[in-house]
Structure 1
Amino acid sequence: MGRNIEIEFKNMLSKENFIKLYQHFQLNDHDFLTQNNHYFDTVNGSLGGKKAALRIREKNGQFELTLKLIVEAGVLEINQPISADQAKALISENELPAGEVKDELMLLNIVPESLEYKGALQTRRAQIPFKQGQLMIDHSIYFGREDFEIEYEVDEHSLGDENDLLQLLNELNIPKVHADNKIKRFFEAKKEGKH
């Protein structure tokens, strides 16, 4: 289990600029790992209304339940490793496992039984050490859509900032394009497609 403040700077990419980064960092297909994010909210979107989000991330056969909360310094992540059976129970039966995430949801006045599974977003991600943090180069697929983005993630004690990412984009002639977080893009696509 753990709590950490995540500070990330994002930029959406065209497929051409995704390929440009792929070539710049001399990546190959083996550098990309697939992860599935399974998202949850209440029927009336109570979590989103509280600027919070709940997901299970499935990667390399491991499952992690994460509650994200917007805080002044960035995003507070509360992470809790869970078993494959616990993940399946939450996805199919809305059974939230005991632990720090459930406790925090109750503090937010979210009744765990009111949660429902909203769907999955699959990301192929390459992670590269960069300056004061990590670069993530992502290709995501959800609801028949695909998008590409770059994220620069630093921790709350790092001296890294958005200028590190902007400098890289500038060097490669990649335009600055606003990027909502994956959760927001997922829920907007779900609403538009009425999935």
Structure 2
Amino acid sequence: MSQEIEIEFKNLLTLEEYEQVYQYLPFKSVELIEQTNYYFESDDFKLREQGAALRIRKKNDQWMLTLKQPHEEGLLETHDSLTEEEANLWIQNKMVEKPHTKKQLRELDISVDELTYLGSLTTRRKELEFKETTVVIDHSLYYDEEDFELEVEAPSKQQGEEVFEEILSACDIPKRETDNKIRRFYKAKLKSE
């Protein structure tokens, strides 16, 4: 599938809160996945201005180029598969156009020629199915930063919100306004310059 709507709820956690969620749900029995996001942007931050983000991620030995854009129900994700060689070219600022993301970028008035590689963010992730949602706990590392996060991905806003609220309430965690990973990455990048 080249496009999908992502409905998710996020909350930054302290290390102690991360451990509470880890104990509350059966995360011990779940395999740890390490994944790295490689981020791209134009010099004048056209993607960020439009609330969009472009990344490459290797997952299950598959390289995927993903453009995330705001959508009334959540985020519209547009995907293109990449070979390892193509992914490496992108990271070396030798972008290879791919059909689905090219079309969406064109709608945002952005050409792949304008894009440059910004850097990477590595996440140690555990995820499990819970009440017909996917619950994720992440430990992310980027620049001199590290953070912990709870994510709930759901087929509907109502279902996602109910599970999200249940976990926060059960673990006595306050709801926090939480930027997505790319925004946190941008802030850390600007601090490091």
Fold in common (TM above 0.5)? yes
Residues 42-100 of structure 1: per-residue CA shift (max 9 Å, x gap): 01101111111100011233210000110111100001111111100111033133311
The alignment-based identity, stated in percent, is 38
The residue that corresponds to 2:162 in the other structure is: 163
1:20 aligns to 2:20 (yes or no) = yes
Q: CA deviation at 1:175?
A: 2.0
Question: What TM-score, normalized to structure 2?
Answer: 0.93
Tell me the distance in 2 between the aligned counterparts of 1:125 and 1:87.
22
Q: CA deviation at 1:159?
A: 4.9
Aligned pairs, how many?
193
Question: What TM-score, normalized to structure 1?
Answer: 0.93
Residues 162-195 of structure 1: per-residue CA shift (max 9 Å, x gap): 132111111121222221100110111111111x
The residue that corresponds to 2:182 in the other structure is: 183
Contact 1:64–1:79 (Cα < 8 Å) also in 2: yes
Q: Relative to structure 1, is the Cα distance of residues 147 and 29 closer, same or farther in structure 2, using a 3 angstrom cutoff? A: farther
Q: Which runs of 4+ in 1 moved over 3 A?
A: none
Tell me the distance in 2 between the aligned counterparts of 1:83 and 1:36.
16
* Structure 2 residues without counterparts, runs of 5 or longer: none
SS for the counterpart of 1:160 is: helix
Q: Which amino acid aligns with 2:168?
A: L
SS for the counterpart of 1:31 is: coil
Q: Which amino acid aligns with 2:43?
A: V
* Structure 1 residues without counterparts, runs of 5 or longer: none
Q: Relative to structure 1, is the Cα distance of residues 33 and 47 closer, same or farther in structure 2, using a 3 angstrom cutoff? A: same
1:143 aligns to 2:161 (yes or no) = no
* RMSD value, Cα: 1.6
Contact 2:7–2:75 (Cα < 8 Å) also in 1: yes
The residue that corresponds to 2:58 in the other structure is: 58
Output aligned runs, 1:34-183, within 5 Å.
Answer: 34-156=34-156, 159-183=158-182
Contact 1:86–1:97 (Cα < 8 Å) also in 2: no
